Chains A and B, each alone.
Chain A
């Protein structure tokens, strides 16, 4: 449970400044400025090809900006020592890869890389942080198992454990719920919420599912063709008008019966409001 100490998450100022990103000659994200709220969960949503994964990759310095910059505490992340950035910003890629036969404990332990020097001596602090990361993700009892023998949900928890072992204040995740069934999606998102609430980790993630995004986000960033269409708490941003504009989807927004967050009910061509009686 949380204990009253200084809020370290608030120490880091992480923002995209007039960021333009693209591949080869195609510009995907253009002149985008985004302030990440420290200690909050920011969820980036958008239609396919709206640039949400590209934006996340840019913020994780996997893509070099064509213009603008990503600044961490006021300094360009590509200008800082990569290993130093790695102690503050962690990333879980959409489809992480691992060598065959790797054990869970070995994989999670590799998250300690940025904290180790040239001679990489494994300290008891490393051991404790890895154990803590595995305890937090409920993967301790998997330590001796091979990654490839685990289920999709377990594997995703292990990867999150590795990102946690990196012990960063900011954690970026690219569609962490893809390929998971709905129960495991909730499981992973609950885990991230718990980490955010108990450790103060700033979470920035890309999600596909608007209703899950609305439920878990403190800040929602809605992208449309590489620019921010709306930004702010879900209750203020996820309106029928914006959903229609950003996704091209006619929808009715109702309060989520569980959390009260906005819930998007798509209409579709055959189910206009009031016509359900006809089908029933």
Chain B
């Protein structure tokens, strides 16, 4: 026995060079094919979502009180439209569409990161009070301090950050655990709601109505300057998120496994949460708390792509699709020519999903 052991112990093939035994070769190529199939599937899903988005975009730009045909639309976008078409498409409809698209991406990615980092499908900025914090700060600014649009946006951003910091600090026990973060977040969300109710009940009716409109969330106030700021911030945050996505994949496997893979878990979690909070904060600052977009986008994207991967790109596209479709629906598809803010539509889509999730979560309980 010892002889066999010793004989077997001594040799240890250098392990970064794989033995040329053909079974491993065959296996490697089979796996590579498998990987490619998964990648193809994800690419198909991304293409499908992008095509859908393009269709919705074309519809949003052509449909309305004044219809623009597709050839005219293309001509207008290429800078060869008539004066009225230029005004309708480029000044009225395009900013609205682009804003909806950008905030859809921002909300969706924020939710995807929160849910993955905290390993909980309920851990989305709209459930745990981060967007609520933005709302409370914005409404406080509007009603008490008489803020204009820009300062309201800044207040919203600040409110989201403050609430996130408070939750993080309260959840800290020599480290942050997902479920504690979520529970504290839900508690904070209630406190923020209470504060909002107080502010609204004290306000003048006219002011309160303006604040309520902001609270529902919508893209009707789109301006190119705001869009530019939002796009610039996204241009910084998205590459950072992409660089951190490897750590996010490791964190999905739990802190023990992530640590043994060489990830500094606490620091990585803090970085990722900071990016996610920033994404939710800039989106809320731009359009108000569009209900449930952050919450539903990533799970839907994962369900569609079905690869079990992180699916950040599909999630971003699903988010953009939800916000653009919601805004189109709110503008054009309601009976009797009724026009509503997009936030009402996203809420109508999102709330049943939340119920469904809660009703079926016994299956796993660990989620994203």
Contact = CB atoms under 8 A, between A and B. Distances in A.
Contact of A113 (B116, B119, B263): B263
Contacts of B25: 128
Contacts of A106: 38, 307-309
Interface string B1-38: 10001011111111110110001110110111011001
A167 B306 CA distance: 28
A8 B28 contact: no
A131 interface: yes
B366 A105 contact: no
A83 B262 contact: yes
A88 B307 CA distance: 30
A89 B24 contact: no
A57 B257 CA distance: 11
Interface residues of B, number: 52
Contact of A103 (B38, B243, B253): B38
B243 A118 contact: yes
B8 to A, nearest CB: 4
Contacts of B9: 7, 39-40, 196-197, 200
B10 A135 contact: no
A146 B82 CA distance: 56
Given A2-B11, A60-B259, A102 B308 contact: yes
Contact of A5 (B11, B28, B34): B11
B254 A96 contact: yes
B250 interface: yes
A131 B262 contact: no
Contacts of B246: 113, 116, 120
Contacts of A84: 262
B252 A99 contact: yes
B44 interface: no
A7 B15 CA distance: 11
Contacts of A143: 30-31, 34
Nearest to A199: B12
Interface in A99-140: 99-103, 105-107, 109-111, 113-114, 116, 118, 120, 122, 124-125, 127-132, 134-135, 140
**Range, interface on chain A:** 35 or more
A189 B133 CA distance: 52
Interface string B275-308: 0000000000000000000000000001000111
Contacts of B330: none
Contacts of B31: 105, 127, 130-131, 134, 140, 143
A254 B14 CA distance: 40
A99 to B, nearest CB: 5
Contacts of A81: 262
Contacts of A90: 260
Nearest to B26: A131
Contacts of B256: 57, 60, 62, 91, 93, 96
A3 B13 contact: yes
B308 A101 contact: yes
Nearest to A108: B31
Interface centre among A81, A125, A200, A260 (most CB of B within 10 A): A200
B259 A5 contact: no
A206 B145 CA distance: 62
Contacts of A3: 11, 13, 19
A183 interface: no
A190 to B, nearest CB: 14
B39 to A, nearest CB: 10
B16 A140 contact: no
Contacts of B16: 125, 129, 167
Contacts of A111: 261
Contacts of A140: 27, 30-31
Contacts of B40: none
A5 B13 CA distance: 6
B368 interface: yes
B252 A9 contact: no
B206 interface: no
Interface centre among A101, A197, A200, A260 (most CB of B within 10 A): A101
Given A91-B256, A96-B257, A120-B246, A101 B27 contact: no
A260 B1 contact: yes
A144 B306 CA distance: 11
A257 B214 CA distance: 78
A110 B11 contact: no
Interface in B297-328: 302, 306-309
A280 interface: no
B250 A113 contact: yes
Contact of B8 (A2, A40, A89, A116): A2
B24 to A, nearest CB: 5
B299 to A, nearest CB: 9
A259 interface: yes
B55 to A, nearest CB: 28
B166 interface: no
A238 to B, nearest CB: 16
B244 to A, nearest CB: 10
A58 B69 CA distance: 68
**What are the 3 A-B residue pairs with the smallest beta carbon separation, nearest first?**
A200-B12, A86-B262, A83-B262
Given A7-B12, A132-B24, A134-B27, 13 more contacts: A2-B12, A4-B10, A5-B13, A83-B263, A97-B254, A100-B366, A105-B35, A129-B16, A130-B28, A131-B18, A131-B27, A131-B28, A132-B18
